[in-house]
A and B are shown apart, each in its own frame.
Chain A
Amino acid sequence: MTSITEQSQGGFRLDMLWTDARYRSSFLQIVAFLLLMLAVGWLVSNAIANLAALGKDFNFSFLGTTASYDINQKLISYSSTSLHWEAAVVGMLNTLLVAFMGCIACTVIGVIAGVLRLSKNWVVSKLMLVYIEAVRNVPLLVQILLWYSIFIESLPAPKQFRENVPEGERATLWFDMIAATNRGFYVPRPVFEAGSMVMLIVFVVSVLALFLFNGIRAKYQERSGNEIPNALHLFGQAFAIVFGLGVIWLLLPSFDQGAFGIIWKLVVGVAIGAGLGFALYSMSTLSVRVAILVLPLVIAYYVMGQPVSWLYPELKGFNFTSGEDASIHARNSLMALWLALSIYTGAFVAEIVRGGIQAIPKGQSEAAGALGLRPGRIMSLVILPQALRVIIPPQISQYLNLTKNSSLAIAVGYMDVTGTLGGITLNQTGREMECLLLLMAFYLTISLSISAVINWFNERIKLKER
């Protein structure tokens, strides 16, 4: 206590500003603030002087001028007479498109690879190890460029799909619906006719019904101890069988291909259909949920007289037709970017999944086994719910990484927002500062909203302890 009184008795000395805890924190913050303001002021004054010297100013009116460049991959209508802000929006949508597709694909790849990495099967787990290590340790840009050149150099030209090309050299559509060419991929375009609105409404209603079902089911289980009533259980199993057969029937639409084509389709179709059917059969609750979602939709589809049809790739001259009334043309730049992003991020997702599953103590699965649960149920009821808690936050940040990495599109000429706003618009208008500010603001908005989601999730799943 003596030292404190001594201190307060002495007069104020300047060095007490940082030796005395009473003043130190305010003093430091004021100094930091002043220094920062000085630095910012210096930078801004430099920028103003430089801009003035170049005869430029800082405003965003260039966004309202004609862009006068074309974008070959777009989701909304756009032409070279459109404005710069429209080009930016097309770019943003393109970024979101490839990010969305990439997130789905990388999750599928990553989860499969991560689970297989943990497999007791030596060959499979080593194969996955090779995949993960090879992909993780090579720059993504190299992979994107490699896939892009492989697509361009080794896929067949559209004219090789023509009827008059000799049998051995003729290229064929994948699954009779996708044309993979060196000019890009042609994918069937859905055509919505009158009545598809009804299908949409039916779908929305069945989603609501699903929520309702989930609530009722949970109450039922609390009351009775059973997951679902026996009758519903039987219905689920029956639906699983029908569903599996339906998938097989869908996957085997035509047999007009060579012998290899038929066998290939038979094997793939039966494998997928039977796999799905078996999986649903063993999980009848899930099967009921799928039935709630799918069944009304299928019924509505036939009741309304099949309002959705597909425009398949069609050859016209030496090329596939493109445009609003033809199949969707996805350029190789998009496909290569998508593939590379998914494979690259998939490797990271695989490690996250593996880590998440391994983070669950062995005792958990042993305890579940001791209670008499079978492996499938141990996974779905004990391991996964706990592992997902570990997996999902880093998984979401991988989605964020994928979105940011999609900016590498500029290397293959896919016009995402970096390519339009940060590329051609920037070079045409010479508005570096404005363009880059907008570009960064776009990415920042995405990543801040994703981190908000992560934080919300972390808060929600936090173990409620004492």
Chain B
Amino acid sequence: MTDTTPERAPVAFVASGEIPQAPPPPGETGLRHWVRENLFSDWVNGTLTLISVAFLLWTLPGLIEWVLLHSVWNAKSLDECRQIMDESFGEGVRGACWAIINERFEQFIYGRYPEELRWRPNLAFALLFVALLPVLFGGFPGRKLLFVVTAAYPVVAYFLLWGGSIWPFFTFVAGVLLGILALRAIMSIDHPIIGTVGVAIAGAIVVVALYLNFVWGPLTDGLTGQYGAIGFAPVESAQFGGFLLTVIIGVVAIAGSLPIGIMLALGRQSSLLFIKFVSVVFIEAIRGVPLITLLFVASTLLNYFLPPGTSFDIILRVLIMVTLFASAYIAEAIRGGLAALPKGQYEAGDAMGLTYGQSMRLIILPQALKISIPSIVNIFIGVFKDSVLVSIIGLFDPLGIIQPILANAEWQGIYAEVYFFVAVLFFICCFAMSRYSMYLERKLKTDHR
């Protein structure tokens, strides 16, 4: 235990240098070790391996033959398909007849959307990714600029998909601007007793209501008369179908349900009893019933609750119900995020003197949303999958497209191929989304617990 180490004569049994690393023993590396460790570590494990390998040998070859080796890609009918199989693979050998997908591919994607107008949904779909880019990924130049695209996207997409004249929308936006101007104008008047903000809001509402009632219609008609209907050729909702419809339902439902869901989640946490009560009832009622009953409501009941004489189209009604459905689930996901935040975060916001709105916007929601993003993505996947339910109420989503095929004389007897195709289509989308949610989870994990 002294500071100075005395010089010592080298001792034979003390190593003077580092011993070179020896390779691990032969049984501890390489394929053999891996196989023994992972497949045959004990007899239970070995049996499991054998059973699963036997299962794979039993199913995989047949599946591969059916899907790839013995399949037919070009034919006009199922009979022709079978004939080709008989000729090229031997009598009675049956594979998948992908010719049906080949023939109906466009229908699966677009439904009965007019062929010459299909560039519009294509463009809308491409723009969707541009619009989503700044939302989904961060840290690239020009992100702020792209948010403009995101903000304008709903309107652009609507015009691309449904077409129609731009005037009604144009005049509607004018009305909204008018309302904002009115709000500003009345805000500048300070009344000693009534106060400012309330009057301003009430005034703006009155102005907008008057505008919508008396000016909007005539102005639109006038502009249309003056300049003609400027815009794209309109496409009716009945012509929408296929995967296009699925994507529309999914995107609208998630975009619409996020704000509603946030409000419901905050409402459920609120100290205002009545608002809390309403939020809880809404969330539980929606979550307690299957989506299909809500779709029945959309298809048979919703028009009852609108002013007599109005009737708006089924896709819009479905979008409303699916959005409400998704928002109840999103609200629960966000509530989970809110509940996961330590109480100190709320108290810190109050201690800083922030108003409720400020502390929610600046402190609570950014953290709560971050926590709940994975479950939000999962809800989105669920809504995306559930959108096939609209085929039950007679819309032509990919599953709805299948029904006429099964009844078609030329393709009578085909079933596995079409379901398989739709399943693969959905699998690709949903799997990609679930991987994205995992990526997000990793990216957003900033804690060091």
Chain A contacts to B: CB under 8 angstroms: 11, 13-19, 25, 28-29, 32-33, 36, 43, 46-47, 49-51, 53, 116, 119-124, 127, 133-134, 136-143, 145-146, 149-150, 153, 404-405, 407-408, 410-411, 418, 422, 426, 432-433, 436, 439-440, 443-444, 446-448, 451
Q: What residue in chain A is nearest B384 (Cβ atoms)?
A: A139
Q: Which residues of the partner chain B approach A410 to less than 8 Å between Cβ atoms?
A: 292, 392
Q: Does B225 contact A (CB under 8 A)?
A: no
Quote the shortest CB–CB distance from B430 to chain A (angstroms).
Answer: 4
Bound Cα distance A142, B398 (Å): 10
B193 and A418 form a contact (CB under 8 A): no
Complex: A142 Cα to B305 Cα, angstroms: 32
Measured between beta carbons, the chain A residues less than 8 angstroms from B52 are 121, 123-124, 127
Q: Which secondary structure dominates chain A's binding surface?
A: helix
Contact A139 B308, CB 8 Å, known A29-B273, A121-B39, A145-B419: no
Which residues on A sit within 8 Å (CB–CB) of B39? 121-123
Q: A121-B41, A138-B423 are in contact. List 7 more A-B contacts (CB 8 A).
A: A11-B193, A13-B193, A18-B197, A121-B39, A134-B427, A139-B422, A446-B288
Contact yes or no, A138 B290, CB < 8 A: no
Q: Are A436 and B45 in contact (CB under 8 A)?
A: no
CA distance A144 to B419 in the complex (A): 10
Tally of chain B residues near chain A (CB < 8 A): 65
Q: Complex: how many Å from CA A410 to CA B416?
A: 20
Give A28's nearest chain B residue, CB to CB. Answer: B272
Complex Cα distance A443/B296, Å? 14
Question: CB-CB contacts of B276-297 with A at 8 A, as 1s and 0s?
Answer: 0010000011011111110011
Q: Which of B199, B272, B275, B419 contacts A149 (CB 8 A)?
A: B419
| CB of B386 closer than 8 Å to a CB of A | yes
A433: chain B residues at CB < 8 Å are 301, 304
A404 touches B305 (CB 8 A): no
Interface: B265 (CB within 8 A): no
Main secondary structure of the interface of B (DSSP, over half): helix
Q: Are B287 and A447 in contact (CB under 8 A)?
A: yes
- Residues A422 and B293 in contact, CB atoms below 8 Å apart: yes
**Given A11-B193, A448-B284; A123-B419 close (CB under 8 Å):** no
A-B contact pairs, 8 of them (CB 8 A): A25-B272, A50-B303, A121-B48, A123-B49, A137-B430, A149-B419, A418-B290, A443-B288
A-B contact count (CB 8 A): 187
Q: Are A436 and B192 in contact (CB under 8 A)?
A: no
Q: Which residues of B contact A (CB under 8 A)?
A: 37-39, 41, 45, 48-49, 52-53, 55-56, 192-199, 271-275, 278, 284-285, 287-293, 296-297, 300-301, 303-308, 381, 385-386, 388-389, 391-392, 399, 402, 413, 415-416, 419-420, 422-423, 426-427, 430-431, 434
Q: For A439, list chain B residues within 8 Å (CB).
A: 289, 293, 296
Is A14 touching B416 in the complex (CB atoms < 8 A)? no
Q: Which among B194, B288, B388, B389 has the highest number of chain A CB atoms within 10 Å? A: B288
Contact A440 B427 (CB under 8 A): no
B300/A426 in contact, CB under 8 A: yes
Q: Are B385 and A139 closer than 8 Å at their CB atoms?
A: yes
Contacts of B308 in A (CB 8 A): 46, 49-50, 53
A146–B38 touching, CB < 8 Å: no
Docked-complex contact A46 and B385, CB < 8 angstroms: no
A448-B284 Cα distance, complex, nearest whole Å: 8
B431-A133 in contact (CB<8A): yes
CB pair B423–A119 under 8 Å, yes or no, is no
Chain B residue at minimum C-beta to C-beta distance from A16: B195
Contacts of B38 in A (CB 8 A): 120-122
> Are A120's CB and B296's CB within 8 A?
no
Q: Which chain A residue shows the least CB distance to B386? A: A139
With known contacts A15-B196, A29-B274, A436-B300, A46–B306 Cβ distance under 8 A:
yes
